């Protein structure tokens, strides 16, 4: 087993769990289906094709910055004649004034997550290669959300979860008293120290366009200390440190 570190950051991201029709929600951290979709798109696995070995990947998410929730007011079909507007539940037409389809799309703005991805060596090597040269554009849950690069923190790591605990730089200020910064870690499955455990329906069998099915998966959120020395609050300092980290200089 070996692993990879992915960094999901950008102005906007959105990890829908129940997203259908009008209200398109987001979880407060990346979903398993979102992460698998990101990797599958990079590998060029087409919609409707089985995800194969990708099911073996295990993700541990460090919430570097939870971000701010944003609800985007998005309209469709405004200004159309009445007959072309969307039907109401009882089959009638709405008046022209109210006929526009309104959807609310939830996003996390300003969020940063670092994801430890573990799996068999061959698979992990393949995934890394795909993320370096993705077949389709990567996006953070929604196509209009391109990720910051590098998405893949490209350096060899044996134990990516330990890297998250000790080494990967954090884009936050450390506590003033110099103590460790507590960050939320989202683990798959049960965890003894969890302060929150929930069940998410976000494990896809495959990505068909319709009739997507998801299996439930337990998730545990654990508050975990990260050394104050790895916290870099100022944007430029953090970016410079991140580059140093990727290049293997910082240990």
Partner 1 sequence: MSTPRFIDIHALQTVPFSNLNRDDQGAPKTVVFGGVERTRISSQSWKRVIRHEVERVLGDPAVRTRRVVRGVAERLEKQGWPKEEAEAAGRQVARSAGSGIKLERSKDEQDEEVLTTSVLLYLPEAGMEELTAIAAEHRDAVVVEEAKPEKKRKGVLPGAAIAEVLGRRNGTINLFGRMLAELPGANVDGAVQLAHAFTTHSTSVEYDFFSAVDDVEQELGIPGSGHINTAMFSAGTFYRYANIDLRGLDANLGKDTAAARELVKTFLDAFITKLPTGKANATAPASVPDLVHVAVRADRPLSLATAFEAPVQPAEGHLAPSLDKIVAYAESVNTLLGADQRLWSGHTIAGRDKLTQLGDHHASFADLTTAAVAAAYGRESA
Q: Are 17 and 139 in contact (CB under 8 A)?
A: no
Q: Minimal distance in Å, beta carbon 12 to partner 1?
A: 6
Instruction: Give 79 or 178: the residue with its C-beta nearer to partner 1.
Output: 79
Q: What is the DSSP string of 83-94?
A: GGSPB-TTSPBP
Tell me phi and psi for residue 177, to 5 degrees: -80, 5
Longest dimension (CA), the chain: 65
Q: Minimal distance in Å, beta carbon 73 to partner 1?
A: 4
Q: Minimal distance in Å, beta carbon 37 to partner 1?
A: 13
C-alpha span between 9 and 108 (Å, rounded)? 10
C-alpha span between 150 and 36 (Å, rounded)? 18
Two structure tokens written together for 33: 């289906």
Residues that bind partner 1 (CB under 8 A): 9-12, 67-68, 70, 72-74, 81-84, 87, 93, 96, 102, 107, 109-110, 131-139, 143-150, 209-210, 234-236, 239, 243, 246-247
Instruction: Give 18 or 84: the residue with its C-beta nearer to partner 1.
Output: 84
C-alpha span between 128 and 63 (Å, rounded)? 22
Instruction: Give 162 or 240: the residue with its C-beta nearer to partner 1.
Output: 240
C-alpha span between 14 and 142 (Å, rounded)? 6
Which of 220, 226, 221, 228 minimizes the C-alpha distance to 182?
226
Neighbours of 121 (CB within 10 A): 10
Q: 138 Cβ partners below 8 Å, 6+ apart?
A: 38, 41, 42, 131, 146, 147, 151
Instruction: Give 55 or 93: the residue with its C-beta nearer to partner 1.
Output: 93
C-alpha span between 72 and 63 (Å, rounded)? 23
Instruction: Give 144 or 196: the residue with its C-beta nearer to partner 1.
Output: 144
Two structure tokens written together for 58: 């295990």
Q: Minimal distance in Å, beta carbon 194 to partner 1?
A: 29
Instruction: Give 169 or 220: the residue with its C-beta nearer to partner 1.
Output: 169
Q: Minimal distance in Å, beta carbon 172 to partner 1?
A: 10
Q: Minimal distance in Å, beta carbon 1 to partner 1?
A: 26
With H, G, I as helix, E, B as strand and everything else as coil, classify residue 193. coil
Q: Minimal distance in Å, beta carbon 160 to partner 1?
A: 20
Instruction: Give 141 or 187: the residue with its C-beta nearer to partner 1.
Output: 141
């Amino acid at each position: 087993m070996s692993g990879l570190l992915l960094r999901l950051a950008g102005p906007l991201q959105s990890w829908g769990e129940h997203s259908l029709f009008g209200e398109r929600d987001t979880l407060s951290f990346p979903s398993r289906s979102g992460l698998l979709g990101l990797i599958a798109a990079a590998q060029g696995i087409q919609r409707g094709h089985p995800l194969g070995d990708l099911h073996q990947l295990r993700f541990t998410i460090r919430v570097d910055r939870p971000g701010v929730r944003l609800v985007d007011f998005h309209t469709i079909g405004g200004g159309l004649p009445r007959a072309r507007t969307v039907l109401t539940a009882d089959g009638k037409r709405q008046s022209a004034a109210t006929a526009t389809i309104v959807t609310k799309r939830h996003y996390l703005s300003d969020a940063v997550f670092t994801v430890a991805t573990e799996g068999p060596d061959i698979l992990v090597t393949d995934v890394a290669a795909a993320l370096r040269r993705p077949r389709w554009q990567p996006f953070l849950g929604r196509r209009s959300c391109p990720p910051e690069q590098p998405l893949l923190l490209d350096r060899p790591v044996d134990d990516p979860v330990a890297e998250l605990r000790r080494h990967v730089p954090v884009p936050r200020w450390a506590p003033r008293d110099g103590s460790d910064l507590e960050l939320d870690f989202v683990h798959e499955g049960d965890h003894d120290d969890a302060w929150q455990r929930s069940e998410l329906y976000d494990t896809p069998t495959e990505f068909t366009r319709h009739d997507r099915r998801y299996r439930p998966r337990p998730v545990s959120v654990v508050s975990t200390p990260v050394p104050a020395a790895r916290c870099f609050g100022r944007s430029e300092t953090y970016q410079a440190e991140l580059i140093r980290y990727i290049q293997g200089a910082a240990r």
